[in-house]
Structure 1
Amino acid sequence: MINNTKTLYDEKVKYLAEKYESQGFRVFTEPKTDELPFDLGNYQPDMIAIKDGSGLVIEVKTSLSRVSVDSLLTLAEEVSTHPGWRFLLVTLEDIEAKSLPGTSEQLPSWQKLTDRFDQAHKLIENDEVEPAFLYMWSIFEGALRKRAIDVSIPIERFPIIGLLRHLYSLGELSISQFDLAQACFEVRNRLAHGYIERLNLEVLHDFDNLVHELLREWVNESKIKKLAAILMKRLAKDYQIFNEIVASELGNIDKETKGKILLSIKNSLRQKGLENQFNDLQHLIDESFDSSIVESNNPQLKTNQVILLDKAQIALDTLQGKEQKKIIHTINSLKKFPNCSPLQIANLSSNPNYFIARQGKYRIIFEFQPEEVTIVDIVNHERLNILYGSLKEAKI
């Protein structure tokens, strides 16, 4: 069995290397340290493929059961910080596609998915219930795969069940969304394989609401990311006209979205070593917008005392590098709770005084009392469910 697995692995690596080379890539299998495009710590990829100043860092697995996406997520995020580079996970169980992994995803755009969603509604209006459900499923699955790419989770080619489970465990889907998706998947399979399925209109209605909710959230976040990138490019070209750009680009965007864009700009400046320049940018932005949507050093703003319980401190100490810094930054932001709009905050349904702050794949459990925030625990999404029970998160 071990020899057979090794043979399958070697064949996959050889096949990929030949395919990438045929498309003009320079390919390095099991690259040495001096062949890597940037520092990857102790990690050695199975392959890197480079073309036209961009490239792919590739990990090859023979089976999904051998994959720990959680451990690869930080690596994928690190690779994505380098312009033109992307981390790619390839397994023998990936869905079939004509495109070579990482070169042309052949997925519809967010706009196309939105247009298709409108078309599905026309089928529903014409009482074409089963075709509408199957069409809606294709839109849903396409949205899941695009979301994985957008947030640098290298699972967009996974079979649908693996895709759903990983997106759920990493916090991209809530418990109720995951449960509904699984139920709809079973209905989809029976319809797709030719069986008669008396489709419950309530199920179709719930699934329709789910797809609409995810499209609205993920399309909006995609626009935010693109807009922040546009602003950063323009900023690099001409710093003096930055205020005019912000005024024209953000003039008609709601307060919460503005906060997310400004946070994205701040993070981009930090990655480029320009963190000190953000104060200058903030002054420019404050001339046109309410300064409450960004972090402020206003001494008149009341701040909370932040206390870490032992469990939370131990969890924080186990984190390393950028993950730990992000969590510390989020905890510091809670000094201004509830006036910390860029953060995603939810109630813990089992305790009205407990809240959840989201930072990437992690959740910070904290208790809020007047002028005091107590950090109770720091967990990933999966452990959140295990330790604190079934949750229904309501954004506030």
Structure 2
Amino acid sequence: MTNNTKILYDEKVKSLAEKYESQGFHVLTELKTDELPFDLGNYQPDLIAIKDGSGLVIEVKNSLNRLSIDRLQALAEEVSTHPGWHFLLVTLEDIEAKSLPGTSEQFPSWQELTDRFIQAHKLIENDEIEPAFLLMWSIFEGALRKRAVDVSIPIERFPVIGLLRHLYSLGELSISQFDLAQACFEVWNRLAHGYIENLNLPVVHNFDNLVRELLGKWTVELAISQLSSEDLAAFRAWFAEFDAASLDKREELRRNLINQTSLLLAQELIRNEKLKKELNVNDEQVINVEFAVSLLSPEDLAAFRTWFAEFDAAAWDKQIEKDVAVGRLDVLAQKALKHLREGRCTDL
């Protein structure tokens, strides 16, 4: 960074700090690693902004070129483990904007995106192809940005092409999904800028399938990551049975989930815990996740199987660490040491 660039950079960071302060944030700059509110290794953020028990760890970059997103993702994941805290990546262009980064951006929920997807589908059914495509793109881009936030990839504010490229490079999109998204972006770009574009149904249907696929995959993964340990154990057992089952058995399990979902829709039944137990109706959240997984295509199910194996192994590791921290394994450890002293152990 040249002297002139460094002077400009420092001025922009100072300007950003003043903007946060004007909005009631307590801003910290030029922090040493031991002055951070939590351990981030040897990382030193440009700013920390704190307000009402929440905080932003802010990294300022001259541009989005040649960024090490892997490194920043690891930082964002660590920051997100602290309730109320968020890692934010901003550029000098962001500082010039009127809106304050990290305070004004709101993304629709996954349920809202799904509801909009249904609306877009109705437009397709009514042969309103162009409005359907434009709405579908809005849903798609919203899903990309929300996915980035959910998995702590700090690129939710990137231009859409950069967003696509980074999500592809980090394995969130397959090569076929990336290629289709790029092709659809070119169509959207021409439409959005007033050019005439002869849309055809195959393009819209392909894009519709892509958005449906990503919404299904990402909402399922998020829902599973939010399950309690007890609900996760219930899902683990169900998935083991479903994954090993024949096609006929899978259909039987799917029908059972449909029946349980129907039962849960009855408000009187939901309130009657005794009746729920008698009918073996599991937790509604678990049932919804199980049903969503049961509807995955063979290709999506294979991808989910790989993802869940990695997620479940990490969940087990976290649970063991938690049990060790609170002393739940102390008795077993003492018993093992006793057996070792008494010569009741064998070498592996």
Same fold (TM over 0.5): yes
3-state DSSP of counterpart to 1:65: coil
Q: Which residue of 1 aligns with 2:257?
A: none
1:273: Cα distance to partner?
6.4
Measure, in 2, the Cα distance between the counterparts of 1:155 and 1:85: 16
Q: Which residue of 1 aligns with 2:72?
A: 72
Measure, in 1, the Cα distance between the counterparts of 2:20 and 2:230: 30
3-state DSSP of counterpart to 1:254: helix
1:228: Cα distance to partner?
3.4
3-state DSSP of counterpart to 1:141: helix
3-state DSSP of counterpart to 2:227: helix
2:290 to 254, 264, 274: 254
Q: Which residue of 1 aligns with 2:106?
A: 106
Measure, in 2, the Cα distance between the counterparts of 1:5 and 1:228: 49
3-state DSSP of counterpart to 2:60: strand
Contact kept? 2:33, 2:43, Cα under 8 Å: no
Contact kept? 2:33, 2:41, Cα under 8 Å: no
- AA aligned opposite 1:195: Y
Q: Which residue of 1 aligns with 2:183?
A: 183
Q: 1:184 to 1:219 in 2, by over 3 A?
A: same
- 1:305-360 C-alpha deviation (Å, 9 max, x unpaired): xxxxxxxxxxxxxxxxxxxxxxxxxxxxxxxxxxxxxxxxxxxxxxxxxxxxxxxx
Point out the more displaced range, 184-193 or 27-36.
27-36
Contact kept? 1:27, 1:49, Cα under 8 Å: yes
3-state DSSP of counterpart to 1:154: coil
| Larger helix percent | 2
Residues paired across the two proteins, number: 268
- AA aligned opposite 1:182: Q
- 2:234 aligned with 1:198: no
Give the CA RMSD over aligned residues.
Answer: 3.4
Name stretches of at least 5 consecutive residues in structure 1 with no aligned partner. 233-243, 281-396
Contact kept? 2:124, 2:132, Cα under 8 Å: yes
Q: 1:46 to 1:188 in 2, by over 3 A?
A: same
1:274: Cα distance to partner?
4.4
Q: Which residue of 2 aligns with 1:20?
A: 20
3-state DSSP of counterpart to 1:158: coil
3-state DSSP of counterpart to 2:65: helix
- 2:151 aligned with 1:115: no
- 1:255-308 C-alpha deviation (Å, 9 max, x unpaired): 97997786675455456564687889xxxxxxxxxxxxxxxxxxxxxxxxxxxx
Measure, in 1, the Cα distance between the counterparts of 2:319 and 2:116: 37
| Larger strand percent | 1
Q: 1:168 to 1:59 in 2, by over 3 A?
A: same
Name stretches of at least 5 consecutive residues in structure 2 with no aligned partner. 233-276, 294-303, 331-348
Contact kept? 2:148, 2:156, Cα under 8 Å: yes
- 2:162 aligned with 1:162: yes
Q: Which residue of 1 aligns with 2:56?
A: 56
- AA aligned opposite 1:223: A
Q: Which residue of 2 aligns with 1:215?
A: 215
Contact kept? 2:94, 2:101, Cα under 8 Å: no
Point out the more displaced range, 129-138 or 93-102.
93-102
